[in-house]
Structure 1
Amino acid sequence: MTREKSFRTLIRTLGERTMEPIVFIGRVVSVLPQLRNPRRLRLRETLYYLDLCGAKSLPIVLAICFLMGVVMAVNGQIQLSKVGQEIFVVDLVGFAVLKEFGPLMVALIATGRAGSAFAAEIGTMKVDEEISALETMGITPEAYLVLPKLIAMLIALPLLTVLGDAAGLLGGMLIGTTTMGIPVPTYWSRTLEVLDYMTFLLGAAKSLVFAVVVTLAGCYCGFVAQNDALGVGRAATSAVVASIFLVVIADVIITILYSFIGY
């Protein structure tokens, strides 16, 4: 009888933990119509998060994406030089940066900077009972706390992705024009030849999905944080781990969908 009761308790606990993120997403979706009214948006907070997620993340994004382009070009040269086809390093770097690694690396950087910050901020507000105060005043916490972060991320991540893509291509061009001896005009013309606007748009579309995933994961971990200092720290850690896991899964799903349409 005790075992049966423990099993039922376990099933109920798992069911509740499974439903919690679904309920949270539903609450966020329910407040999205407020975006139609600009007066209800917290413009100052949106600009603050835009600076946090965008401007302050730009140097590290450019540095990492540039080095990523360098690494891919070096490894591509090592392998393609065996068959005398070094020119295809341009194709490798271009497609890999624009469609895959550019959006993915930007999302992972945003996870470390923004996702953990969102969780820590909301978790601290929960400890200080500020979220309860918002509910007492009739303010929906999801609208007050999540929407400004979501808007900022939807603006910042595509812009960072575009700049990160440019840095990655420059990193590949550096290796191509120095160690491989490809002239700059030849490298650039080959890049424009093999890449089209759809490649760029598909990568940018990924960044929009990643922005939603990172924001919701970070905010959710903050809302479910325990009411103590340790809980806030665990929430920030959980936000990073969950965001990385969900971003990778989303990347796999989107890549498979792209393959079905021939991209």
Structure 2
Amino acid sequence: MSNLGKYLIFLSTLFRNREKLKVYMNLVFAECIDIGISSLLIVAIVSTFLGAVTCVQTASNMDNPFVPQYIISLIVRDSTILEMGPTITCVVLAGKVGSNIAGQLGTMRITEQIDALEVMGINSSSYLVLPKVVAAMVTFPMLVTMACFLAIMGGYVAGWLTGAITPQEYIQGLQFSFKGNYVFFALTKSVVFAFLVTTIASYQGFFTKGGAYEVGKASTSAVTNSCIAILVADYLLAQLLVG
């Protein structure tokens, strides 16, 4: 059977023989802290500097005197909401969250902790993976929203400090021809990417065989496959929701 078939079968096991809702609530809250709170710093740093770089580079290429300066912030706004905010943020999270999930589950597999859960009659995939999936689908949109805000603020500060655009022109560009459905598009992408990152990383870690070396390989494969899945899903969602 192909890896894709095994992955789909693995997804189907997440919803069988589930534990009580109260058990999952506690696990989801714990995973929200582990996935969301611990990722705030890296997301804030990356998004702020991405917005600043986008503003500066866009301004350096705007040498046509007939093009108004507020177009700079319009480009920063749309590129951030449509692409950089959800996609780049989730690629960063795939490296941080995905490798952590794969390493954690891989270690549990080789130390036979997952086997112990199954011996006790617990659906190990549902108990261990489903809370991570739900927590990621809750926290990723929040992190993406914060990333978009900080990227736009980073562009504002960079444009003001470098003199590339005045604060008034920057705000004018942010307000010019704004399309609210872009926000819905960004949040939809973040939810889909969260599902892909957590399930792919969990699949890689859950079926790890061997020792510490194989756990490392599983973490690497989780990040690589998650990034590829994000880029493919990004294109498909762009065609479906925008194209």
Q: State TM-score, norm by structure 2.
A: 0.92
Aligned mate of 2:8, from 22, 31, 37: 22
Match runs of 1:147-186 below 5 Å: 147-180=130-163, 182-186=165-169
Tell me by how many angstroms 1:88 deviates.
Answer: 0.8
Q: State how far apart, in whole Å, the 1-side matches of 2:194 and 2:221 are.
A: 17
- Asked if the contact 1:34–1:40 (Cα under 8 Å) also holds between the matched residues in 2, the reply is no
Identical columns (%):
27
Is there any run of 5+ residues in structure 1 with no aligned partner, and where? Answer: 1-14
* Higher percent of residues as helix: 1
Q: State how far apart, in whole Å, the 1-side matches of 2:117 and 2:153 are.
A: 48
**Structure 1 counterpart of 2:79:** 96
1:50 alignment partner AA: C
Q: Deviations over 1:126-184 (max 9, x none)?
A: 11111111111111112110111112111111111111001100111123333345332
Q: State TM-score, norm by structure 1.
A: 0.85
- Asked if the contact 2:56–2:164 (Cα under 8 Å) also holds between the matched residues in 1, the reply is no
Aligned mate of 1:124, from 93, 107, 112: 107
Is there any run of 5+ residues in structure 2 with no aligned partner, and where? Answer: none
Aligned mate of 2:63, from 81, 87, 99: 81
Range 75-84 or range 48-57, more displaced: 75-84
Query: After TM superposition, where is structure 1 displaced by more than 4 Å over at least 4 residues in a row?
Result: none
Match runs of 1:43-54 below 5 Å: 43=26, 45-54=27-36
1:169 alignment partner AA: I
Aligned Cα RMSD in Å?
1.9
Partner SS state of residue 208, structure 2: coil
Q: State how far apart, in whole Å, the 2-side matches of 1:194 and 1:52 are.
A: 38
Q: State how far apart, in whole Å, the 1-side matches of 2:70 and 2:136 are.
A: 37
- Asked if the contact 2:72–2:170 (Cα under 8 Å) also holds between the matched residues in 1, the reply is no
Q: State how far apart, in whole Å, the 2-side matches of 1:250 and 1:114 are.
A: 18
Which protein has the larger Cα radius of gyration, Structure 1 or Structure 2? Answer: 1
Q: State how far apart, in whole Å, the 2-side matches of 1:17 and 1:241 are.
A: 15
Q: Deviations over 1:88-125 (max 9, x none)?
A: 11111000001111011211121111111111111111
Q: How many residues align?
A: 242
